[in-house]
Copies of this chain bind each other. A is one copy, B any other.
């Protein structure tokens, strides 16, 4: 492993950042906000060049839309910085305070993780959002954006550097530009504490398989909605339609609908009608196809994240079968039950092994903004550290401060002092 200067520099910066006060970090955020506003014309101009090249290279329309950085995106970015400014300090929070022995006090205090590497897609607004979340949480950031957005990203990065100059140490955020930089990033386990990849499943798996650095990301979003025997049919139809169609190519859309056999006859026909009106292709198991007309679902349908206007449907014999199906085929992202029966709701909440387990609402709510986190760097489907939408708190860890006055462990052995373990 060859040590990269940008990684070493980020590590150095992280030590300075961790000691900055909230006021200093917020002043930097305000400086960044002002500098982006001031340099907006240049940023738009660079974005126009990126857009022109992307059009030349015949990028698909949805990608072009994401790449575009215009007045609307600028407003979003500046608004995002405002909401980040208004959030309380995630650092220095004490989650445990305990007297171990008189005069020997233990505190668990939140602190930055250190250096965070983020690999993100071609939305240039994501660059500002991620860099500012890392900054507010006292972390140094290594940011690898999409190739298509390179000129826009450079202009945004230059503005952010300008805005933070004199407040933040060099290396607080670095834009990485080449594909080789990604592989280099994966090897810098001495300097990088966490990698957050955003992108396709295959890409996230590749990252996970090629680094020792912890990876926080979601490899897949295969969400379910289960309609219990006790569901209110109207509510179930409304929620399922939203969960499937409110947006299609998103990780929190429902991909498989599970229906209790006792309500299938009443629920499936109106639900199928509503979904077909929205242009959704349905794929059902045998019992579903006895009730509504649709294509047969094959085995692989239960394991497929369509990211499209397709929904697989399965009739189940019981709540337990639904839970087992979700735990087996799901991606531990977000799964919902529609039910009036509170015992069924409780059983589902306890039994489903996912970051988000919902009752009587749409899986589409799984999102950092909607949770009130200000923003998110991603949605984690792993079980350790942070789960679900990852905002400021997920970018922090903690350390233990132990404050004494000369205590030794030998003193506790020979009885000179004794443990009290009294919470303060």
A351 to B345, CA, bound (A): 47
Please pick, from B212, B405, B407, the residue contacting A208 in the complex, using a CB distance under 8 A: B212
Residues in A394-420 with C-beta less than 8 Å from chain B: 397-413, 419
What would 24 A/B residue contacts be, using CB atoms closer than 8 Å?
Answer: A15-B327, A104-B365, A114-B353, A193-B384, A194-B383, A232-B406, A235-B405, A241-B408, A242-B408, A242-B411, A246-B410, A246-B413, A355-B400, A357-B399, A357-B401, A358-B403, A358-B404, A361-B408, A362-B408, A364-B409, A365-B402, A365-B409, A370-B412, A385-B385
Q: A interface, by DSSP: helix, strand, loop or mixed? A: mixed
**A214 proximal to B (CB < 8 A):** yes
Closest to A99 in B: B372
Please pick, from B356, B385, B399, B405, the residue contacting A384 in the complex, using a CB distance under 8 A: B385
**A239 proximal to B (CB < 8 A):** yes
Is the Cβ of B19 less than 8 Å from the Cβ of A350? yes
Number of copies of this protein chain within its complex: 2
A77 to chain B, nearest CB (A): 20
Collect the chain B residues with CB atoms within 8 Å of residue A372's CB.
98, 100, 419, 421
The 8 A-B pairs of least Cβ separation, nearest first, read A361-B404, A242-B408, A372-B421, A235-B406, A364-B409, A385-B385, A384-B385, A358-B402
Is the Cβ of A365 less than 8 Å from the Cβ of B239? no
Closest to A234 in B: B406
Interface size for A (C-beta < 8 A) is: 72
Closest to A394 in B: B384
**A153 proximal to B (CB < 8 A):** no
**A130 proximal to B (CB < 8 A):** no
Is the Cβ of B356 less than 8 Å from the Cβ of A104? no
Residues of A participating in the B interface, judged by any CB pair closer than 8 Å: 15, 18-19, 98, 100, 104, 106, 113-114, 193-194, 208-209, 212, 214, 216, 232, 235, 238-239, 241-243, 246, 323, 327, 345, 347, 349-351, 353-362, 364-366, 370-372, 382-385, 387-388, 397-413, 419, 421
A351 to B138, CA, bound (A): 12
A88 to chain B, nearest CB (A): 11
Is the Cβ of B214 less than 8 Å from the Cβ of A212? no
